[in-house]
Structure 1
Amino acid sequence: MFEQRLRKKSVDDSAFAWTPWPVFALAAAALLLSALFAAGLYGRSSAVKALLDQGRADANLKVALLRAVLERPRALPLLLAEDQQVAEALAFRNTEAIAALDRKLEGLVAGTNASVLYVTGRDGIAVASSNWREPLSFVGNDYSFREYFQRAMENGTAEHFALGSVSKRPGLYISRRAENQASALGVVVVKMEFDQLEGDWHDADRPVYVTDADGVVLITSIPSWRFMTVAPLPADRLGAIRQSLQFGNAPLAPLPIVRQEALSEGASIVSAVLPGTGAGEYLRILTPVPSTSWRLEYLVPTEPSVAAAVREARLLALAVLVPILALIAFLLRRRQVIADRIAAEKALREELERRVAERTVDLSRARDLLQEEIADHRSTESKLQVVQQELVQANRLAILGQVAAGVAHEINQPVATIRAYADNARVFLQRNRKEPAEENLGEIAALTERIGMITEELKAFARKGRTPPEAVDLRSAIEGAVVLLRSRFAGRLDILQIDMPPPGLAVTGNRVRFEQVLINLFQNALEALEGKAEASVNVSVETLADEVVIRVSDNGPGIDPSIRSSLFSPFNTSKEKGLGLGLVISKDIVADYGGRIEVDSGETGTTFIVYLRKAVS
């Protein structure tokens, strides 16, 4: 038996000694994989950042070159619009003047980068052109439908990129209105083509293209991308462009570019399909072209640079981690030397495990007791909610009892008056005087309606239970509270000054419960002013965006500081016969419907502020 135990102990000790090696292998593999992954992310990030910096510099150079190309021909329409020879040719239209103007335009184009230079009359028909000798001369063509002609006639100048209606070649049209002191004579137009610029940009690996405000490609180093769009155009805008023939019959299809990741403003990672090279990942850099509504977009391939950066970062990570892991393996190997200590540590561990097991049993018992306590708390909470509802009803009935005696007087007075009117009506009928008898009967009906209103208010106020929220007319609730208080505070309600809300102002809640809140607040204010000269209670209503605010202010002595901090706590009162529940219940009622109550008290008086949710109409 002893040998069996010794053999079992030796096996257990050996297993314990060798257990860290599989763990170490898994941890080392996980660490290496995590490090390689993190190094790949870092290498990619640093490569993209370097490409972004270099790409932005290249894009800025290309924008500068584009601006230089644009600025040279822009001066031609400005100068020719003021030229006397142009004015005379447009004004008089004689053959000699027009021929001289043709030769002049032909000579100007030869010395600039412009494609063609021509002059139209105010009707849009070309009068003279630099290509007057060519078979496809612009002379005699009607350009009144062109946007650059219309905008130049309206605004004096215009720039418009479009496909030539005669040459079928794309270009930028720069126009300027020619005029004399009397009126507009016509328009001077220079067309600029960008073949040389596109040839300078030609690089299959790094596409460059310029888009207009609609995202249509105008100038590009990839000819097949011309007149494609950065994103699908709205149907109405697409129809307008096609109708204007700005880009001929081009389909205006979206570019084969899909955005994958946004880097910063004007830069993102995209997937693009280039002609002849297939799909690839590119860094897209967007740069606005000053003095135009254009935007230059530059695609820089990321895969070669990113692959090299990732490879370099991972090799560096391996160079750091492999020696560290080798050192850890050496330390683990030394751990076997102290294997003889493991037996004693194992016995200690078993004792600790036994104690933990005992403690676990104790904790399980404590958990069972705690669950029982939780069940008891939940039962108590349910009972507390029932008690709270009973307290609300008790407070309502207490208020009802306070006003009941006065209401009896309020009813007795109209009853006595009804008796007098009835006796008078009998006398009038005996005397055959119908008209005064009918007047007395009408007064009897009015007094009966008044008694009915008082009793209905009492019955509604005594009704028990919580109802779902509804739209409550605030003016009616205030008037109902005043009716129930009128008898108890007879002769003193003149100090209650109410700025009634406009008819139709509704809040979310229940009328009877809101009347209970208002009666509590009005009653507290009136009782606080008992025996005070020049007493006043002011009630105002303010409408906010989504709330209605009711302020009940009195000029009494204020709330005792000793109870102010616990004003809304149960059974906290300064009245000899008070229960200290009125304000607590009022706060709960308002909170039930999403509102709140605040108080501001001092030596000059007290103001209760009630915030109620405005009912949605």
Structure 2
Amino acid sequence: MPAAAPTVNPQQTGRWPRRLGLSLMLLLVCAALAAVAYRYAEDAAIDRLRLSGAQRLDTYAAGLEHLLSKYDFLPGTFELNKDVIALLRQPGDEALRRDVNIYLERVNRLAGSTSIYIVNLKGVTQAASNWRAPDSYVGDYIAFRPYIREALRGMPGGFYGVGTTRGEPGYYFARGIYHEGRMLGVATVKVNIESLEASWAEAGGKALLTDAHGVVFLSSVPEWKYRTLAPLTPAARQELEQSRQYFSHALTPLGLREVRALDARARIVAGPPPATGPMLSQSRGLVTRNWQMVYLSDLAPARASARAAALLTVLSEALAVMLVLYARQRHRLGRQRQRAREDLQRAYDQLEHLVADRTASLEQITRELRDENAVRRQAEEQLRKAQSELVQAGKMAVLGQLSAGITHELNQPLTALRTMADNARVLIERGRHADASANLTTISQLVERMGQLTGQLRQFARKSDTRPSAVPVADAVTAALFLVERRIAQERVGFRMATHPRDLYALCDSNRLQQVLVNLFGNALDAMEMAGSHPRQLAVEAGGAGARVLISVTDSGPGIPEDVRAHLFEPFFTTKPQGKGLGLGLAISEQIVRESGGRLRAESLPEGGARFIIDLPRAE
């Protein structure tokens, strides 16, 4: 008898395809969730890297600008040196060239710069701080350099490049040197900024600085220096070769390849050695110098975090499946959920701690910038106070020189007051009241004159608020003359004053203008006295010239020699005997006139004598 065939349950047969389909669908959902978790964790890690990179870019940019700003003012100071001006006007004077070389050498050593040199209008170096070296810049033709060309066109030059003589890189500051409104040459200061690379390398990450053509000239990775972010165009390469900005460097492409763009300032790139994987590239433009700073962050930690997140997701999915399969183990399921919440809380606490650290760092940078601004404002205020005290000291020096005449002016009325008071008492006792009344009238007039003198001295000695106003020129000249009129009378000096028109007003401070005039009157009287001039004449003329007011003080003294005229307005320079002056009068006067928007100049007359001209803005 044959065996019976096995029976098949139709319900069980249809269940397996359904289970297989659900399993496949579950696997697909789990894979999709793992991919989403990976992408989310990677984006979150990249966002943290972007925040950190942006802060570093701001810090590096601020450090670079701070380093360069310390030297920005230096080229403009050389036009104040008389020897530099003289050398540019007399290039054949070798003794003068040696003095300027020594002066530049000393300033370069004190400032901590790489080199300083002076170039004439033809682009030839006239003096340099490295004049003792065999490869000195003196005599070099450098007019092809962009910073020299810009400075010769009247614009301050700023330029980073590699030196053509020594091959040393540095940043060049260039400013025109002007004298009496005319350009004579260019002053250039070279500063080494390579020290920033070491600080970038110590901080971790990879930082680099590029110029407008994309050439890397500073980098925390030495192998990337003097490479380009992209191949140079023929026009850019020709421009760099003509200016010799990077001298003999080949400027080959760096080989950074973009993998994914995040936004205008951030992207994922694959870099050349020593980079071993993809990096986050962030950039920040330095608009004032047309540079771009780039910071590269390694993405390996971010991807490791993303893989961990994906793995955690897979584990969570597996756990969820197990929880569904083992529904009866509810108590164990509750404990697993509690652990998951604790993990999430720790991750949240870590995130809060990271945000707090980044916030504290930003607040520290803000405080440092605020403190630096406060120190700078305090220094400016101290400078203004020092200038005001110097002007006030000049007034006190003038009053000291006038003290003998002032004492005599006061002693005469005081003696007359005593005599007339005694006479008035006797006349009243004798009943001669009319004569006593006449004496009292005279006493009142003498007291009024003494009041005018002390009032004028008090007005002259008070501190000025330096706010410009419309000052009557004739009144200012009369007030200044009041302080020296006794000396003019004693030394029998002829005085002449002319003002055209009479209602002429200058835009300045009245008290400071009087101080300048008293200084000029005193210098003129001293010059005529020391020279023994006969006859002695002092003339003041004031007139309008368009929008300007010209006030000239002329004497009949010996005039001003050519070698003295170049030093007239230098502090502590004087031709008077020892004890007759400190040499501050003309320096202070020139500063006062310049701060009022004017100019003080001196000239010798062909017939003898000197003339000082005050040029001020005219006021209605």
Which protein is bigger by CA-based radius of gyration?
Answer: 1
* TM-score (structure 1 length as normaliser): 0.50
